[in-house]
A and B are shown apart, each in its own frame.
Chain A
Amino acid sequence: MSDSGNMVEVKGLSKAYGQRRQEKYAVYNVSFAICKGEILGLVGESGCGKSTLGRLLLRLERPTKGEIYFDGQDITGYSFTEMRKIRDRMQMIFQSSANAFNPYYTVRQIISEPVMNYRKTDAGERDALMTEMLEKVGLDSSYLNRYSHELSGGQRQRVGIARALILGPDFVVCDEAVSSIDFVLKKQILKILAEQKKKNGFTYLFISHDMAAVKAVCDRIMVMYLGNIMEILPEAEAKALHPYTQALLAAVLEPDPNVKREKKILFKESGELAIPEAGCVFWPRCLYATETCMHRSPELREIYDGHFVACHYMKNKRTLEENA
């Protein structure tokens, strides 16, 4: 790759599961890039392929189609051993932290594993490193000898964060990294992530359905629906243009009871989230869907500076707003 400003770049990435005839796409024809030192938010409903996309970027799953570049290298076809050589530069914070740890492992074994794989250290150095890391995420060295099932959900999630960050990777996929942590700790951890970014130029893919957290830390936000990218917002506060993004944002709960929120449901109810046979993936639930939407799928187009939207009607977005 010529463009060295991108930490990660994917082109036409797809991942299908299932047998030949009944392939189901978890990720479909996705292209985007994450710049170095950037936090890219990835939002969407459960089951829309967010986690799959995150795993694909780290090559923990094999892509069905498309290319993945990591810091300029095409890692799409890398073997297990080739990937192993660069895994210390990319890490992942896993989603469901109960299953994220070997039940026979203590926290010490969990966190020291990446260190032992990549750094030559003795036990004392490792312990110091681990203690420092645990303190950063609000735990202390007394947790080192515990098993993961002896920890609470939030503690487990923080151990997961410690494991991912201990090697000081360049790129971290945070899959629902702060979802099961209470508000105060959430702030603290988001602060750690932001600090690391500032100090060491970390790059993140921040997967979450917590719009507030996403808005708080992310530079850009990518919206996904059923494996497709619907919209890429150039900044966290940018105005959403795609009907799906608007619907998502309208569904965010307001923590302040004094702020009255106009309750708007911008979705059509539909029983099952299935990919329609033709057309835009969102048309069955879109309030503005027309004949065209049912037959032709929209491309992700740049509406203006860095703002990408996949919708046929973005040319006349004013009509959209008036309708809303």
Chain B
Amino acid sequence: MIKNTGRKLLRNKSAMFGLMIILILLLMGLFAGRIASHDPTLVDITNKLAPSSKEYPLGTDQMGRCILCRLIYGIEISMFTAIKVTFIILLVGVPLGMIAGYCGGIADNLVMRLADIASTFPSTLLALAVVGIFGPSLDHLVLVFIFLWWAPFARMVRSSVIKLKETEFVMAAEAAGCSRRDIIMKHIFPNTLSPVIVYATLRIAAVITHIAGFSFIGLGSQPPAPDWGVMLNDGRQYIDTHPGMLFWPGLAIVIVVFAFNLFGEGLNDALIPAEEEMAVVKETGDSNE
């Protein structure tokens, strides 16, 4: 099963293309200090709004900062933050979904009502409220995302667990004398993962656009941070004279989101049909009596 999935994923060209972009960007983000020749926040007014040159491949912004360097440092803010946020969301949502699905009863009710609450809040509104109370900052924004977005993961895991609980192999594990821990960790948990992984990959893209979006309207990262959203906001005033200031960060966001979506779709193709295949096998297996 794992072998098949890997092979399918490798054969999926668009997914591999997406993964390649993601990996390259991640490496660039990790070694931002080595690659970028300028300090992304170093102001040099004498050199402001410079056109593309050898030293500044994409030119400079209104403060004379290297746009390319800021984009490279921006990877850390958008991609790294988004990956971290999604990871924390998984850490919250998946166990809660497992508990709700496996235990049922009061635990299920409690978790699902919390999930209902989390999913009824419009993220923009809550973000505005939190930023209004605690002040604008990327950290506050991140907390809002975690607070709201664990819910769909919990729901997804819960429904898989409820389905899996009734399957014969889980019953067989109980009959084979497995402990509750083994049943949950070895038999139920691994089988809930495929949709979660797909959805998490797509969710990373969503977090990136949200961070950029909130930073653009001034509620997320604050200048002079090299956030792509902040850069977009800076470029707004120069759209007529220096469209590059708006274009490059915009392109960066598009590329990253595109890459994650491609990869997510590829994962979806590789992981989900594997299960459908199983369903087909099951049906034919039953009918040859």
Q: Which residues of A contact B (CB under 8 A)?
A: 55, 58, 60, 80, 84, 87-88, 90-92, 94-104, 113-114, 117-118, 147, 149, 153, 156, 160, 163, 176, 179-180, 210
Instruction: Kindly identify, within residues 155 to 194 of chain B, every residue whose CB is under 8 Å from any CB belonging to chain A.
Output: 167-169, 171-180, 186-187, 190-191
Q: Is the CB of B180 within 8 A of A180?
A: no
Please give me the residue from chain B that is nearest to A175 by CB atom.
B168
Residue B286 is within 8 A (CB to CB) of chain A in the complex: yes
Residue in B174, B190, B282 whose beta carbon sits within 8 Å of that of A98 in the complex: B282
Determine chain B's interface SS by DSSP, over half rule: helix
Q: Is the CB of B1 within 8 A of A117?
A: no
Q: Is the CB of B191 within 8 A of A103?
A: yes
Q: Is the CB of A113 within 8 A of B1?
A: no
Please give me the residue from chain A that is nearest to B274 by CB atom.
A103
CB distance from A296 to the nearest CB of B (A): 36
Q: Which of B176, B277, B285 has the most CB of A within 10 A?
A: B176
In the bound complex, CA of A84 to CA of B173 (Å): 11
Residue in B171, B173, B180, B288 whose beta carbon sits within 8 Å of that of A153 in the complex: B288
CB distance from A171 to the nearest CB of B (A): 12
Q: Is the CB of B172 within 8 A of A163?
A: yes
In the bound complex, CA of A90 to CA of B1 (Å): 30
CB-defined contacts of A98 to chain B, threshold 8 Å: 278, 281-282, 285-286
Q: Is the CB of A180 within 8 A of B288?
A: yes
Residue B289 is within 8 A (CB to CB) of chain A in the complex: yes
Q: Is the CB of B169 within 8 A of A99?
A: yes
Residue in A101, A114, A160 whose beta carbon sits within 8 Å of that of B177 in the complex: A114
Q: Is the CB of A113 within 8 A of B176?
A: yes
Q: Is the CB of A100 within 8 A of B169?
A: yes
* Number of residues from B at the complex interface, CB < 8 A: 28
Starting from the known contacts A96-B168, A113-B178, 8 additional A-B residue pairs (CB-CB under 8 Å) come to A55-B171, A58-B175, A96-B285, A99-B282, A114-B177, A153-B285, A160-B172, A163-B172
In the bound complex, CA of A233 to CA of B75 (Å): 76
Residue in A94, A147, A153, A180 whose beta carbon sits within 8 Å of that of B172 in the complex: A94
In the bound complex, CA of A160 to CA of B176 (Å): 11
Please give me the residue from chain B that is nearest to A60 by CB atom.
B171
Q: Is the CB of A96 within 8 A of B171?
A: no
Say whether, besides A97-B285, A102-B187, A87 and B278 are in contact (CB < 8 Å): no
CB-defined contacts of B167 to chain A, threshold 8 Å: 99
CB-defined contacts of A96 to chain B, threshold 8 Å: 168, 282, 285-286
Q: Is the CB of A149 within 8 A of B286?
A: no
Residue in B172, B177, B190, B277 whose beta carbon sits within 8 Å of that of A117 in the complex: B177
Q: Is the CB of A147 within 8 A of B1?
A: yes
CB distance from A83 to the nearest CB of B (A): 8
Q: Is the CB of A149 within 8 A of B171?
A: no
Say whether, besides A98-B282, A149-B277, A180-B286, A92 and B187 are in contact (CB < 8 Å): no
Q: Is the CB of A102 within 8 A of B169?
A: yes
A/B interface sample: 5 pairs, CB < 8 A: A84-B179, A94-B172, A96-B286, A102-B187, A176-B289
CB-defined contacts of A100 to chain B, threshold 8 Å: 168-169, 172
CB distance from B231 to the nearest CB of A (A): 44
Q: Is the CB of B285 within 8 A of A156?
A: yes
Residue B53 is within 8 A (CB to CB) of chain A in the complex: no
Q: Is the CB of B1 within 8 A of A103?
A: yes
Say whether, besides A102-B187, A180-B289, A87 and B177 are in contact (CB < 8 Å): yes
Residue in A94, A99, A104 whose beta carbon sits within 8 Å of that of B1 in the complex: A104
